[in-house]
Amino acid sequence: MPEIETSTVPVRLCASEALVERGDAVVFEVQQWRQKASAFVMRFEGRVVAYLNRCAHVPTEMDWQEGKFLDGDRELIICSIHGATYEPLSGRCVGGPCVGGRLTALRVEERDAQVYWYPSPDIKPAPVPELRDGDAAVIRNESPP
Ligand code: FES
């Protein structure tokens, strides 16, 4: 996997137990070059890997349902649009219309039973939406659980 220039301040994505071996991915919102995008993190062969949710063929999201990225055999990441397949550990396209291309990898790390993402200069956390006056009133009126 190529070296990725990243921030030193990690963002917690999820608990380790949320990522089951070859199971569903956790999808999260990011911002790439000030454009809204999504990314996903999953576990494969015990390792945690993360990629921008954008196919190398046509720049579109790949999951047919949120978090469903693997093919029927749970061996390859598959794009639901035209069927490009990618190696989960490298992100390299190994089948379909973009062979030789690759997914954009994000640097993630697992420690203390948590999964963290290190944003890069190009791919950052999505901005938190600003509250409008009405939203703030609704939040203030919520009763504690
Ligand atoms: S958009 Fe993914 S294979 Fe065409």
Does residue 83 contact residue 57 with C-beta atoms inside 8 Å?
A: no
Binding site membership of 99 for ligand 1 (Cβ less than 6 Å): no
| pLDDT of 83 | 97
For range 131-135, the mean pLDDT: 62
In angstroms, the CA 95 to CA 18 distance is 29
26-32 and 11-15: which strand pairing?
Answer: unpaired
Residue 51 CA, ligand 1 centroid: distance in Å: 15
Q: Which three-class secondary structure string do you get for 65-119?
A: CCCCCECCCCCCEECCCCCCEECCCCCEEEECCCCCCECCEEEEEEECCEEEEEC
* pLDDT over threshold 60, residue 61: yes
Query: Residue whose CA is closest, atom 3 of ligand 1?
Result: 82
Per-residue pLDDT band at 73 (split at 50, 70, 90)? very high
Structure pTM?
0.85
More confident of the two residues 130 and 16: 16
**Ligand 1 test: best mutation among 79, 94, 102, 104, most atoms within 8 Å of CB?**
79
The minimum-distance atom of ligand 1 relative to the CA of 62 is 2
- Which of 120, 130, 126, 106 minimizes the C-alpha distance to 36? 126
- Which of 40, 20, 28, 43 minimizes the C-alpha distance to 89? 43
Query: For the purposes of burial, counting CB atoms within 10 Å of the CB of 93, is it exposed (0-12), middle (13-18) or buried (19 or more)?
Result: buried
Binding site membership of 97 for ligand 1 (Cβ less than 6 Å): yes
Per-residue pLDDT band at 140 (split at 50, 70, 90)? very low
Binding site membership of 77 for ligand 1 (Cβ less than 6 Å): no
Query: Residue whose CA is closest, atom 4 of ligand 1?
Result: 82
